[in-house]
Amino acid sequence: MKKPKKARQAELKETISRMPFITDEELAKQFSVSIQTIRLDRMELSIPEVRERIKSVATHEWNETVKALPIDEVIGEIIDLELDQRAISILDIGREHVFSRNKIARGHHLFAQANSLAVAVINDELALTAKSDLKFKRQVKEGERVVAKADVKGSDEKGRTMVSVQSFVDNEPVFQGLFEMYRSNDQKGEANE
């Protein structure tokens, strides 16, 4: 049984305040209504779409925090960040990310999301990728959301920071990478370019 509009909108507002990154599709399923109904409810309540909510949170919370590159140069949207510890970003795969023939995401977009997240998590004015070891686990298709999780693993014998990044679509691994990061406070070696 569907809820009356006012009750649905009140619950929608509360749900989005608890989970600001929930999509219209997920909300439509949760409330057993069409995506269009969710969009109309959001418009009436002056709630922006998920992409704008993410940008607002990311710009507000991490613009001053990310040191190694401007926040708008991170591929995907950062949704969690603790410098020199961990970070999470999301990337919604759109038409601009896929091959037109088969709607499969180009690998360089998955790499760019992971690599820029590995740079962003470094607590330094300069962070460059010296080396990476990558594995693509499965194809990603248009319309899928990629969640990348970066974990700082410590330093190697050269003093480089090691960052592990794993990317998922609906909790299924699609990409993994180990990034060896040069940072300006490293005492040894130079970054390869």
pLDDT tens, position by position, 30-82? 999 999 999 899 888 888 887 676 665 555 454 446 666 666 678 898 888 88
**What are the tens digits of pLDDT across the range 87-135?**
999 999 999 999 999 999 999 999 999 999 999 999 888 889 999 999 9
The pLDDT value given to residue 8: 92
The mean-pLDDT minimum among 50-64, 85-99, 136-150, 158-172 falls in 50-64
How many helices (H) and strands (E) are present in the chain, helices listed first? 5, 6
Residue pair 71/116 in contact (Cβ under 8 Å)? The answer is no
The pLDDT value given to residue 187: 46
The mean-pLDDT minimum among 93-97, 152-156, 175-179 falls in 152-156
- Residue 178 in this model has a pLDDT that exceeds 70: yes
Residue 177 β-bridge partners: 134, 165
Residue extent(s) of CATH 3.10.129.10 domains in the chain: 53-183
The pLDDT value given to residue 70: 66
Residue 49 CA to residue 61 CA, distance in Å, equals 18
The helix or strand, by DSSP H or E, that contains position 24, with its residue range, turns out to be: helix 24-31
Please tell me the class of the 5-47 domain.
mainly alpha
The pLDDT value given to residue 68: 62
The pLDDT value given to residue 77: 85
- When the pLDDT of each residue in the chain is averaged and rounded to a whole number, the result is 85
The pLDDT value given to residue 192: 42
Q: Dihedrals φ, ψ of 158, to 5°? A: -90, -5
The fraction of the chain above a pLDDT of 90, given in percent, is: 51
Residue extent(s) of CATH 1.10.10.10 domains in the chain: 5-47
Fold of 53-183: Thiol Ester Dehydrase; Chain A (3.10.129)
